[in-house]
Amino acid sequence: MSPPPGPLPPPRRGRSHPPSLIRLAERLIRDERLLSRGDVVLCACSGGPDSSALLHVLAMLRRRIGHEVVAHGVDHGLRAAAAAELSLARDLAERLGVPFSTTRVDVAPGANLQARARAARFAALAAASAAHGARAIATGHTADDRAETLLLRLLRGAGPRGLAVLPPRAPLPRAAAAARSVDAPGLAAQIELIRPLLLARRVDVLAHLDRHRLAFAEDPSNTDPRFTRVRVRRELLPLLEDLSPAIVEHLCALSDMLVAGRERPSDDDPAVLDGGEPLSIPLGRAQRFAIERARKLGRPLRVRVRGGGEISLGFPEESSVLIEDRSTRRGA
């Protein structure tokens, strides 16, 4: 269990004045429309650094965004220290005026322990969200977590779909959705997972904890080299950062592109024109990613297409509209 953090890691190259964690979270929440005024969000809290920072950030953003926050912790019954760690989370929630509750689950030791603990945790969080009428469950994943997860999947031989990891928003795991449907029939499809800290690095989280003097707990499993993720975090990723200082950002951008490519086309697909007719001009992955990004931000965009021409796109009322006729393409 840690007191307010001490000395921080050295700053990352290329970011002399990084934005605050609150600003990074607010940017992602607004860009991805993760929360709206009146939404109730359940913050998953363990007492660790990421979830403690997330709880504080979500509470600080209540006035700006207009959402409500509740917090919930899950004790898996695997470590005696878990109860004390959750007490830290409870203390922080009380200071912030956030309702806090806990669930104790039984996860027997044995094979695939982490996967079984994760399933039990999300089922408990889903049940708690039903009790509070929450629309979303927020977790404290950072850009580092996303990069580590992509590398783990790559080491295990995953393909493009498997590398589309930890998007800013995602549906509940099936088991958790089923558990929620028992408590609130018909509402299982309405809740989703959101990850407001994905634009932040772990050093941003530590800086926030230090700036606001927030105590947190450290799970010893996060430093246990028996776990492959720990070796990726402590050995592989630092080596890659020595070779390419922006490797975490690159890996997260790759995951973003793969997430966008995995989504099925619909009436508001970035390659669909006003009126529902598909845009027949072939688009590459980078073009589609740029269009999807512009659509989410509601900003117009000019895109080069094959043959040397350009098209202009606008996005009124969350739909994609071709502003410049395709006949303006050179050579048409």
Q: Choose the weakest-confidence range: 4-13, 29-38, 174-183.
A: 4-13
Residue 295 host element (H or E): helix 285-297
Residue 233 banded pLDDT, cuts 50, 70, 90:
very high
Enumerate helices (H) and strands (E) in the chain, giving the number of each.
12, 9
Domain range summary for the chain, segments of one domain joined by +: 21-254, 267-328
Q: pLDDT per residue over 117-143, tens digit each?
A: 888 899 999 999 999 999 999 999 999
Taking the C-alpha atoms of residue 209 and residue 215, their distance in angstroms, rounded to an integer, is 7
Taking the C-alpha atoms of residue 129 and residue 190, their distance in angstroms, rounded to an integer, is 11
Kindly state the average pLDDT of the residues 298-304.
73
Is the Cα torsion angle 125, 129, 130, 131 positive or negative in sign? positive
pLDDT of residue 99: 97
Q: Choose the weakest-confidence range: 86-95, 118-127, 282-291, 322-331.
A: 322-331
Q: Give Dmax (Cα) for the chain.
A: 72
Taking the C-alpha atoms of residue 303 and residue 223, their distance in angstroms, rounded to an integer, is 46
Taking the C-alpha atoms of residue 169 and residue 240, their distance in angstroms, rounded to an integer, is 27
Taking the C-alpha atoms of residue 254 and residue 330, their distance in angstroms, rounded to an integer, is 32
- For the domain spanning 21-254, the CATH number is 3.40.50.620
pLDDT of residue 263: 59
Q: Which residues of 36-51 are buried (b: 16+ CB within 10 A; e: fewer)?
A: eeebebbbbbbbbbbb
pLDDT of residue 2: 57
| Cβ-contact 102, 95 below 8 angstroms | no
Q: Which residue has the higher pLDDT, 43 or 9?
A: 43
**Does residue 150 surpass a pLDDT of 70?**
yes
Q: Which amino acid is at 166?
A: L
Residue 194 banded pLDDT, cuts 50, 70, 90:
very high
| Distance of alpha carbon 323 from the chain centroid | 33
Taking the C-alpha atoms of residue 177 and residue 175, their distance in angstroms, rounded to an integer, is 5
pTM score, whole prediction? 0.74
Q: Which residue has the higher pLDDT, 146 or 76?
A: 146
**Does residue 256 surpass a pLDDT of 80?**
yes
Q: Which residue has the higher pLDDT, 115 or 36?
A: 36
Q: Which residue has the higher pLDDT, 255 or 319?
A: 255
Kindly state the average pLDDT of the residues 261-289.
49
**Does residue 14 surpass a pLDDT of 80?**
no
**Does residue 36 surpass a pLDDT of 70?**
yes
Taking the C-alpha atoms of residue 118 and residue 123, their distance in angstroms, rounded to an integer, is 9
Q: What is the mean pLDDT of the chain?
A: 81
pLDDT of residue 297: 72
**Does residue 237 surpass a pLDDT of 70?**
yes
**Does residue 278 surpass a pLDDT of 60?**
no
